[in-house]
Every structure is written in structure tokens, then in C-alpha cells.
A and B are shown apart, each in its own frame.
Chain A
């Protein structure tokens, strides 16, 4: 396990953050979360089913010590997102929240002005805000400047599995924003996670790429290894790219036959 990092007042070692949606069963979700090595898991807040109130709850299927991160998925305006965060804080007893204010149903891209407005209200209310946002360096700078504890640009649309679509933008965000950058959404497989980490992102948040795989628990482990490999490569400092070959074996001492 590498060095730790902070998101607000919370300290983590694992750089993989997992969602808990789209699993066939609570048990698979739990097994995948354990296999991922993640120390934080997102949840959504939804109405209790009053017709079947004694059904099992997700919170009984969380690995010991895991931080639960409430999201505001499904919120399309500032007011709903802020209220949902307040409910999440009440439910989970901490103010670390994943802020999403969705602007478009088909792409699930964020409503950037509304996200910024909601983030400001939440930061002023003492929340530690992790905003889901487009890979727009200026939007990320605004969110960091108003006090978000990290920015979470998308790599591709939520659930799309398209991978890291715009590494150049992520690099600009990494160079111009001083808070941690967490890639949120869009990865499809372990190499995507590795690419995000090789760029220098602090962490990566994913759900569908694990839960939607044919073997979710195995994919969770693959993602863990991808994230660890990418981070190690980033910290190791990769070689620069060059157009022509550079021999690995000595050119001196060649035999003459």
C-alpha cells in the first residue's frame, strides 16, 4: 500500500473508490468491495419502501471501516442536491458528500453552473464536497477555489465504459488545480484505471465497470491492481517517448565473426 492521501478530514490509502449500484445481490456487492480494496463506497439516498419496510439494507453489507459516501445522483437542481446532502450527513454522521447536479438525462453530464452554486452553499454549511464535474479545467478551478476538498472530473459519460476520453484535459486540470483530482465515471476496464493513475490523479471512482462485468468480484481485483500499477508507474517516473530506438544492450564489445 502506498502513501496515504486526504480528502478533507478523511485519510485513505486505497486510491480506488467504488460505487454500490447495479449489483445482482448485496453479497456480490460486498464481495466486490472487499476484492477492490476500496476504503470508501458511494451510496444513493432513496425513499424507504413503506410496503416492505423490513427488507434488507445495503448498510448491512459494508466492509468494516469503509467510509460511506452519499451521492446526490438523480438531482437536477441545486435545492434537491443540497437537501440530499443534508440528509446524507444526518444518515451517515459526516459531511463528506459526492455532489452531482445533473444537467441532461441522456448524457448525465453535470449542470456546471448549478454544481458550482450548490457546492458554494454546501461548503458554507461546513460540508466537505466532492463534486462530479465535466473535464473542464475552468469549472474545476472554480470548484477548488470555493473550497471543495477535491474535484471529480468525468473521464467519459457515467456507465459508458468509454475510458479516458480526454487525457489532455485531465493533465491541464492536474496542473492547474491544487486540490486532489479524482476521476469519476467512464472507465471500462483495468487499463483505463491505470491510465488515469499514470496521469497523476489522486484516486478514481467507478461503479458500472465493476458491477456490470461478467465476474464483478474478479474485475474488482483487476481494478485494484490497475489502480496500484498506474500509481506506482506515476510515482516511478516513466521514460520520455522517442521516435527512434535506443538499444538496451551494450554497443561495445560486440564479437566480430
Chain B
């Protein structure tokens, strides 16, 4: 079995299994029902592509949501 991947999610060190996709990460973080938008290394990944997008070691992932603002 391959070693897990070390990545950053919202600036926090996080591990995912080798071969994990963004869909797996969203499930791991229990964010499945949230309205979120995700960028991997600055590139926006549409939600429809989460299950096809494989995470790679050292990826910088930002998971954002809408909050109050003006």
C-alpha cells in the first residue's frame, strides 16, 4: 500500500490516501452537503470534476464558502 499524501487544506497540514480524489477529500472532511468552491494550487476545480481530480503530494487546496460581506 502506498504511503499517504501530505497536502495543505486551507493552510492546515492534512493527509489523504494515495490515489485520493477531491471527492474523497470532501467526504473525509464531512463537507459533502456544504456549498463550497475549491481551488487546487490556484486552479478552480468545478464540483462536477471532484471525483475525477486526483490529489497529488504537496497540493495546496483552498476550500471556500460564502460568508457575510459587503
A residues touching B (Cβ–Cβ < 8 Å)?
A: 19-23, 29, 42-48, 50, 53-54, 57-59, 68, 70-71, 73, 79, 83, 86-88, 90-92, 158-159, 185, 205-208
Rounded to whole Å, the gap between the CB of A109 and the closest CB of chain B is 15
Known: A50-B12, A79-B42. 16 other contacts (CB 8 A): A22-B68, A29-B68, A45-B37, A45-B66, A46-B64, A48-B31, A53-B29, A57-B65, A58-B68, A59-B65, A68-B66, A73-B69, A83-B42, A88-B37, A91-B65, A185-B70
A90 to B64, CA, bound (A): 11
Q: How far is the CB of B44 from chain A (nearest CB, A)?
A: 4
A-B contact count (CB 8 A): 104
Cβ distance B11 to chain A, nearest Cβ, rounded Å? 8
Residues of B within 8 A of A (CB): 9-12, 29-31, 34-39, 42, 44, 46-47, 62-70
Q: Do B35 and A59 have beta carbons less than 8 Å apart?
A: yes
CA distance A91 to B46 in the complex (A): 9
- Interfacial chain B residues near A71, Cβ < 8 Å: 69-70
Q: Which of A48, A58, A70, A185 contacts B10 (CB 8 A)?
A: A48
* A91 x B66 contact (CB < 8 A): yes
B38 to chain A, nearest CB (A): 8
List of A residues within 8 angstroms of B47 by Cβ: 90
Residues of A within 8 A of B35 (CB): 57, 59, 91
A119 to chain B, nearest CB (A): 19
Find out whether the CB atom of B67 lies under 8 angstroms from the CB atom of A58.
yes
Task: Please indicate the chain B residues that have their CB under 8 angstroms from the CB of A79 in the complex.
Answer: 42
5 residue pairs A–B, Cβ–Cβ below 8 Å? A22-B68, A44-B66, A73-B69, A205-B70, A206-B70
Task: Tell me the nearest residue of chain A to B48, going by C-beta.
Answer: A90
The answer to whether B63 and A90 touch across the interface, beta carbons within 8 angstroms, is no
* Neighbouring A residues of B10 by C-beta, 8 Å: 47-48, 50
Residues A43 and B12 in contact in the complex (CB < 8 Å), given A48-B31, A54-B30:
no
A159 to B63, CA, bound (A): 28
In the complex, which of the residues A71, A90, A185 has the most CB atoms of chain B within 10 Å of its own CB atom? A90
| C-alpha gap A68/B63 in the complex (Å) | 19
**Contact in complex: A45, B44 (CB < 8 Å):** no
